[in-house]
């Protein structure tokens, strides 16, 4: 999935006359007393269309800190071990009319095993038709597996991607899910297939939205709106985002964890 996404984003850059490409930086996790803590690869591109986009993959294993373990499904101070693998993507776009986006899928094991993830659209300048198109793709991915998924996971995204101190949502929503537990092989296969379809739906819809908007004219006022919106995005990710907290609490690579932050932002 990482390779497919990066190839498609690079293709968009070529269409815009840019030779920008992803730079891949491997990293190794360190944990005292752990001979195999894992690591990952940070993929980062700064181009003409994508002002900054990160597509990271990682597989890490070890033990949670005792004070953090109790907040993770199936872990505790007495059972702090975990394995976590996943892909994480955030794209901040040059043109304010092109929406920023986030996508993440993951598989974790503690004393339990489960999938989680989702995708959400973050437009500085929202277009109702773009929002509807993005949600239609997420709805289709959900409906292929369970007719209750979309409404449940849309509601979860609306509740999760909310900035309490601003009393605003981070963006136009999408889906967010967690703790799809794998109690047997059949459940694993079923939840893996759904998670793969979420990634495929993202790869189908988001590049189409980028191509639709990337040639739009924009004003200084549009860019100022974009930069202020990015400030809100940064606030959410630094204060509330579970993925950021998980990475920092488990000794992840700092640059990879904070790749979600925009390259430029303003606070008025």
Q: Tell me the domain boundaries of the chain.
A: 2-55+88-104+118-260
Is the backbone of residue 74 left (phi > 0), alpha (psi -120 to 50) or beta? left
- pLDDT tens by residue, 205-248: 999 999 999 999 999 999 999 999 999 999 999 999 988 998 89
- Above 80 in pLDDT, residue 98? yes
Distances 52 to 13, 89, 185, 187 between C-alpha atoms, Å: 12, 11, 38, 36
**Interval 177-198: pLDDT, tens:** 999 999 999 999 999 999 999 9
Q: What is the DSSP string of 124-182?
A: SS--HHHHHHHHHHHHHHHHTT-TTHHHHHHHHHHHHSEETTTTEESSSEEEEEEEEE-
Question: What integer is the mean pLDDT of 164-169?
Answer: 95
Is it true that domain 2-55+88-104+118-260 has CATH number 3.40.1500.10? yes
Catalytic positions are 102
pLDDT above 90 for 252: no
pLDDT value of position 86: 97
The per-residue pLDDT for range 215-225, each reduced to its tens digit, is 999 999 999 99
Measured CA to CA, the distance from residue 52 to residue 14 in angstroms comes to 16
Predicted local distance difference test score (pLDDT) of residue 23:
98
């Amino acid at each position: 999935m990482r390779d497919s996404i990066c190839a498609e984003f690079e293709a968009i850059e070529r269409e815009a006359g840019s030779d920008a490409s992803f730079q891949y930086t491997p990293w190794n996790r360190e944990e005292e007393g752990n001979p195999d803590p894992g690591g990952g690869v940070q993929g980062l591109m700064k181009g003409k269309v994508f002002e900054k986009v990160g597509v990271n993959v990682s597989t890490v294993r070890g033990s949670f800190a005792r004070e953090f373990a109790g907040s993770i499904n199936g872990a505790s101070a007495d059972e702090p071990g975990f394995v976590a693998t996943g892909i994480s993507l955030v794209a901040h776009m040059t043109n304010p009319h092109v929406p920023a986006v986030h996508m993440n899928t993951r598989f974790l094991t503690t004393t339990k095993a489960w999938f989680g993830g989702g995708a959400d659209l973050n437009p500085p300048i929202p277009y109702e038709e773009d929002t509807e198109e993005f949600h239609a793709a997420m709805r289709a991915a959900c409906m292929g597996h369970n007719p209750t998924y979309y409404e449940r996971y849309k509601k979860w995204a609306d509740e999760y991607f909310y900035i309490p101190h601003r009393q605003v949502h981070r963006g136009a929503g999408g889906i967010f899910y967690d703790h799809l537990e794998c109690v047997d092989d059949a459940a694993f296969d079923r939840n893996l297939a759904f998670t793969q379809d979420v990634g495929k739906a993202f790869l189908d819809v988001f590049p189409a939205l980028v191509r639709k908007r990337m040639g739009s004219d924009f004003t200084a006022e549009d860019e100022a709106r974009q930069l202020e919106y990015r400030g809100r995005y940064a606030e959410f990710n630094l204060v509330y985002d579970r993925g950021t907290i998980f990475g920092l609490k488990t000794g992840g690579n700092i640059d990879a964890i904070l790749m979600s932050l925009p390259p430029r932002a303003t606070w008025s």
